[in-house]
Chains A and B, each alone.
Chain A
Amino acid sequence: MVNTDQKIQIQNLTVTYAGVPALKNANFFVQENEILGIIGPANSGKTTFLRTLNRLNDLDPRYQYSGEVLIDQKDIYRKWNVFELRKKVGMVFALPSPLPISIFENLAYGPRRDGISNRKRLEEIVEQSLKAAFLWDEAKDRLQESAMKLSGGQQQRLCIARTLALEPEVILFDEPCSGLDPISTAKIEDAMRELKKKYTLILVTNNTKQAARVSDRVAFFLMGELVEIDQAQKIFTIPKDKRTEGYISGRYG
């Protein structure tokens, strides 16, 4: 059954690090243009799952997987070129991670590595991405300044813009607001709501309230196991599983 609404399909995905399971036999899908929230306590496999999607886990020699992950119906390990995959599947890390170069060069990093060197074209990309990440007004006059001079929240939006500069289709957020104040967090969340019109978003968060605020659907992971995945409203009001209920009502984690 080919369902074209399903941007990402995860089939029997098991992940181990040096033999220790981090993700056990997960089966679910991510819909196009939705925000899928992933919640769960520490060591439940959330970040592992994200880093499998853009194959950043490949960098860890202890990493092994079995099962299949399909993006656009194509197996990410067998059918996708890993560098193309990472351009299509952008990632925003937990801590703001600008490179210690200018704002402009941070945004141009991906396109430049992709072979774009035309200054005008780069300037267009930088402007578009900054606008899409709601940072243009704050950054347009200081593009040549070091990105390290931005505030934490601005840096995180810069990282979103940097991802957008590659025109991805999926964006992975790995606890993007864990180091931010509430106002910066609200700005990131606004940006995400706007971005889902064009992109498919996956948000890993330790903050269940945040998951409730922005997600369309929510998946609950526990000890590497996908316990439950459903509409956000259902997860937070009438969860099917006792463990889900326990977590969202604050009994663990």
Chain B
Amino acid sequence: MKLGNAKLEEKVVFFFLFLSTLMIVVPVVLVIAVIISRGSSVLNWEFLTAMPRSGMRAGGIFPAIVGTFYLVAGTLIFALPIGIFSAIYLSEYSKRNLLTRIIELAIVNLAGVPSVVYGLFGLGLFVVFLKFGASILAGSLTLAVMVLPVIITASREALQSVPKTFREVSYSLGATKWQTIRHAVLPHALPGILTGAILSLSRAAGETAPILFTVAAFYLPRLPKSVFDQAMALPYHLYVLSTQVPNVRLELQYGTALVLVGLIVGANLIAVVIRSYFRAKKQW
């Protein structure tokens, strides 16, 4: 009798745990299914490579794709070196003192700042104060500041997961501190750092608020010529299509969303492949 109850309990618990887990999958599948079913009809070569026409109600989204690509590249250029260098400093050089703790607190808080606040910050600092204007430069810098804490945290974890033995072996062979970091630690932390970087960049690619005031052009049917140009970007273009332009075919909105999601999923897949490739190679 008692055993029967325990068995039933086991089944009930399993059912609810499994159901909760399933709940995670459902929205993802639904979102992707809806976007694909409604957006795939407009997806063709012209949509991807042509300029928008007749007030964005026809034509393609080429400048938005290019703009997003430039923004991500710019973010990478600014955020990756600074992020990796400060992670190396924090993980390998800094002592446990008040300054370090303040820096750590700053990073945690930076990660929690809403993205629209970054947009406002970018407007104030890069667009107005540094006189970059609304430009790819200002937008990239704003996005870079936003993803920095993520890159730093991921890089630090990657560095700290390199076994202490590697460092000791390196020192015992007469290597200096920088040689040890450069040759015995960094190569083995790089896969983790890259994974974190790609994930944070895919987040940057999808953000609307930080680029709203700093770079995004409402309607600019040409490609940017320099880093001081404004540019269209996919997330902002999607926002514009959905709320600012009357009488846009729904398919165009979903098509734009599909391209954006496709890019981000693609980037994340690359990150997953890198991670699993190096995890299989990793032997410690």
Contact = CB atoms under 8 A, between A and B. Distances in A.
The judgment on whether A and B are partners is yes
B165 A93 contact: yes
A99 interface: yes
Contacts of B176: 83, 113
Given A100-B283, A109-B183, A166 B174 contact: yes
29 contacts: A54-B172, A56-B171, A56-B172, A59-B171, A83-B174, A83-B176, A84-B174, A86-B172, A86-B173, A87-B173, A93-B172, A95-B165, A97-B168, A99-B166, A99-B184, A100-B188, A100-B282, A100-B283, A100-B284, A109-B173, A109-B175, A109-B183, A110-B175, A112-B183, A113-B170, A113-B173, A114-B174, A146-B283, A148-B284
A153 B225 CA distance: 62
A101 B188 CA distance: 10
Q: Closest 7 CB pairs between A and B?
A: A110-B173, A87-B174, A148-B283, A86-B174, A91-B172, A113-B175, A83-B174
B179 interface: yes
Interface of A: 54, 56, 59, 61, 83-84, 86-87, 90-91, 93, 95, 97, 99-101, 109-110, 112-114, 146, 148, 162-163, 166
B188 A86 contact: no
Interface string B111-124: 00000000000000
Secondary structure at chain B's binding surface: helix, strand, loop or mixed?
helix
Contacts of A112: 183
A160 to B, nearest CB: 12
Contacts, number: 64
B270 interface: no
Interface in B136-184: 165-176, 179, 183-184
Contact of A86 (B166, B171, B184, B283): B171
A95 B174 CA distance: 19
B190 to A, nearest CB: 12
Nearest to B179: A113
A166 B95 CA distance: 31
Nearest to A88: B174
A109 B188 contact: no
Contacts of A83: 174-176
A83 B165 CA distance: 18
Nearest to B163: A97
A110 B183 CA distance: 11
Nearest to B187: A101
B171 A97 contact: no
A140 B175 CA distance: 26
A182 B173 CA distance: 28
B57 to A, nearest CB: 57
Contact of A97 (B169, B175, B179, B188): B169
A90 B173 CA distance: 7
Contact of B174 (A59, A93, A100, A110): A110
A238 B283 CA distance: 47
Nearest to A149: B283
B249 to A, nearest CB: 55
Given A54-B172, A99-B170, 13 more contacts: A61-B95, A87-B173, A87-B174, A90-B173, A91-B172, A95-B165, A97-B169, A100-B188, A100-B282, A100-B283, A113-B174, A113-B179, A113-B183
